Structure 1
Amino acid sequence: MNDKNRLFRTTRSTDPEVQESPIHFLKSLSTSENLFFIRNHFPYPTLNSKISLRIYGEVYKPLVFHFEHFKQMKSKSLKVMLECAGNKRSKFEPRVYGEQWENGAISQGTWRGITLNELFKYTGIKSNVQEVVFEGYDFGERPDGKHASFIRSLPISKALHSDTIIAYEYNGSPLSFKRGGPLRLIVPQWYAMASVKWLKNIYLVEKPFSGPFQTDDYVYYPNKTNKDNAFPVTTVNVNTTIQQPLNFSKLGVGEHEIKGISWSGKGKIVEVAVSINDSEWISADLKKNSQGYTWTPWSYKWKVKHKGHYSIRAKATDSTGSTQPFRAYWNQKGYGYNAIDTIYINIE
């Protein structure tokens, strides 16, 4: 598909399309449509004009909802950040297979849609339900040679969370095809693989779902040679990206502003600390942010008097006490990278 806006993003793959947001240059709390990152597993699906969403399985009344039905229901708007589980994968040592994301597999904005609670009022839910399964229209061949649709599930408790929604608008406009429209799932606090795009079917099951994007991909495999001690990728780790200055910048003696963003799926950001050349950690200034599902901007005034090479590190701590480690939790597929962010600056 032709997309003139790809010029604003860094392309990681063209088939399927994978593009990285220019995160170092984003200043707004809402990412514009032309800057939002793209992560597809398959070619774009072909959709007809009569989009419907079928709900079935362990419900009392299976139903098919058409797009116009959603506009007639009670809606909810939420500002939510989405981060690909592979964000910053290129930083893992030793290196791992997969899209070699740097810092830009993350974007955010305001989503409007219908809660699953609202939808299930029409179908009812049987008491034996353990999970809710979401199937997108996209399908194709996986790297392992098998064909599949993109299908994932949520535990019933997460599916029924009051802020889990089926979105049909983004930043006040109809949800675009490239953002997963006309209907996509939005799951705050979890990595973006949970927010299934191009929704086609929702079915409720009485036992854990085991599709390839559930039990093969999006799983932490901590050992290099086997799949022992594996566990699923779910909640977004506490994390930070230094936006300015850019890594390996050349600056002069004087005062410079270090700026960045921090986020967490577990709680609100309560502190960001900066260290210059591994000196003591000093708290940065946080921009007040009452919206718990978005990143928190921060800044630090750095006064440098001497020429030379400098390292600048930044780490965040959230309201649960989680803080960034010096070394990320290595895993075979490179998910959840959240080591302390570091850049290097030359003062001339």
Structure 2
Amino acid sequence: MNENERKAFAGYVFEGFHLKPSPPPHELTEFLTSDANLFETIHMGAPKVDESAWILAIDGLVRKPLRLSLADLKTLPYKEVTSFHECYGSPLKPATSPVHRVGNVTWTGVPLDVLLNLAGLEKDAQFIWSEGLDRGSYGGQAIDRYQKDIPLEKALSTEVLVAYAMNGMPLSINRGGPARLVVPGYFGTNSTKWLCKISAQRDRPQSPFTTVWYNETVGESGSTVTRPVWEATPHSIITSPGDQSTVQSGPVNLNGWAWAGQPVSKVEVSVDDGASWIEADVKPRHQFEWQRFQVLVNLPNGSHRIACRATDINGLTQPLSGSRNEVNRIQVIAK
């Protein structure tokens, strides 16, 4: 098998799993998340990439396979997409505990549909596979490449990019540079870093990152089904006031962010730990950015358990407990 696109691998910057968590929600007040405040999840270590040898191969069920250098990629039409970027959480344990690894950034890159149209998709293509240059060990398995897939319908959506910049700066190694896949509205695991190959295929790949990990079991129509971790479910965080903070009693302005694969249509806030809910004002979504919500609440003297929950345009709502996207709760003292 000719895999010249993998020759850009030049060793490791570091090996093994790496996690830089998000800061606490009260530090995520800016609309755009800085590189310093954006979480990092790296499964098998960060590869050194020889940019002079870097090639993006586009093959599979296409009429005209492509091999593009970084310079070639940057000559093509590009766009900017602002999107929330969210980590699903560890696939090695049940998704029953809250995960708040999220940020909001602007990506710059070539729309994937432009590349697929240049290559000419065959009619049998149903999934678009992506491969990264990273390799190593994860979950007790030796793995020769990070490999993911997305359905063709999503791949052809104009927001999906082969990105080479974030917040106006070239992608660093820890961000997946020199180029990565970005799939707005989907969990970050689908946005393959250190991208080297795009392949149009009829079926899903047999990668442990698609067959063993990053799947969830859900109830549908009276039965349970296993589905890929693709589109992000509704989630929200309170950014002000901060957890364990003290505020002046009386009217308090409560702010936060909400996001989901589909636009968030409603955010509710509770100041009595879920006994009652107040609807907040929510800014509309323009691309895939997180959405600001705010509401004025009355807090008499004492301790208050405050929660928020988001609902998307399809009526999907954050669960109260027992899930990675359960409602965000904070404790506030009013004096």
Q: Same fold (TM over 0.5)?
A: yes
User: SS at 2:58's partner residue?
Assistant: strand
Find the counterpart in structure 1 of residue 20 from structure 2: 19
| Superposition map of 1:141-220 within 5 A | 141-220=137-216
1:198-248 deviation digits (Å, cap 9, x = unpaired): 10111222222221001111001469xxxx742211111111111222223
More strand by share: 2
Select the residue among 45, 48, 57 that pairs with 1:46: 48
Find the counterpart in structure 2 of residue 332 from structure 1: none
User: SS at 2:135's partner residue?
Assistant: strand
Are the equivalent residues in 2 in contact too, given 1:236–1:265 (CA < 8 A)? yes
Q: How many angstroms does 1:97 deviate by?
A: 6.0
Find the counterpart in structure 1 of residue 84 from structure 2: 81
Select the residue among 285, 291, 296 that pairs with 2:286: 291
**Structure 1 residue 310 corresponds to structure 2 residue 321:** no
**Structure 1 residue 347 corresponds to structure 2 residue 326:** no
Find the counterpart in structure 2 of residue 65 from structure 1: 68
Find the counterpart in structure 1 of residue 7 from structure 2: none
Q: How many angstroms does 1:169 deviate by?
A: 1.5
Select the residue among 269, 293, 310 that pairs with 1:274: 269
Find the counterpart in structure 1 of residue 260 from structure 2: 264
**Structure 1 residue 137 corresponds to structure 2 residue 133:** yes
Q: How many angstroms does 1:252 deviate by?
A: 4.4
How far apart, CA to CA, are the structure 1 residues paired with 2:298 and 2:270? 13
1:28-69 deviation digits (Å, cap 9, x = unpaired): 221112211101001111211311111122222222100001
Select the residue among 309, 316, 322 that pairs with 1:322: 316
Q: How many angstroms does 1:293 deviate by?
A: 0.6
User: SS at 1:46's partner residue?
Assistant: strand
How far apart, CA to CA, are the structure 2 residues paired with 1:295 and 1:30? 9
Are the equivalent residues in 1 in contact too, given 2:48–2:173 (CA < 8 A)? no
Find the counterpart in structure 2 of residue 119 from structure 1: 115
One-letter amino acid of the counterpart of residue 311, structure 1: R
Q: How many angstroms does 1:290 deviate by?
A: 3.7
User: SS at 2:113's partner residue?
Assistant: helix
TM-score normalized by the length of structure 2 = 0.86
One-letter amino acid of the counterpart of residue 299, structure 1: Q
Q: How many angstroms does 1:279 deviate by?
A: 4.2
Find the counterpart in structure 2 of residue 7 from structure 1: none
Structure 1 vs Structure 2 CA RMSD: 2.5
How far apart, CA to CA, are the structure 2 residues paired with 1:58 and 1:280? 54
One-letter amino acid of the counterpart of residue 297, structure 1: R
* Structure 1: 4+ residue segments shifted above 6 A: none
Q: How many residues align?
A: 314
User: SS at 1:169's partner residue?
Assistant: strand
Are the equivalent residues in 1 in contact too, given 2:16–2:137 (CA < 8 A)? no
1:55-87 deviation digits (Å, cap 9, x = unpaired): 122222222100001121111111111111118
How far apart, CA to CA, are the structure 1 residues paired with 2:218 and 2:234? 19
Find the counterpart in structure 1 of residue 11 from structure 2: none
Q: How many angstroms does 1:298 deviate by?
A: 1.6
One-letter amino acid of the counterpart of residue 293, structure 1: F
How far apart, CA to CA, are the structure 2 residues paired with 1:207 and 1:305? 58
In the alignment, structure 1 segments of 5+ residues that lack a partner are 1-13, 90-94, 330-336
Q: How many angstroms does 1:304 deviate by?
A: 2.4
How far apart, CA to CA, are the structure 1 residues paired with 2:314 and 2:227? 21
Select the residue among 26, 34, 37 that pairs with 2:36: 34
1:299-321 deviation digits (Å, cap 9, x = unpaired): 22233233x33211211222222
How far apart, CA to CA, are the structure 1 residues paired with 2:164 and 2:226? 35
One-letter amino acid of the counterpart of residue 22, structure 2: S
How far apart, CA to CA, are the structure 2 residues paired with 1:343 and 1:27? 16
Q: How many angstroms does 1:114 deviate by?
A: 0.9
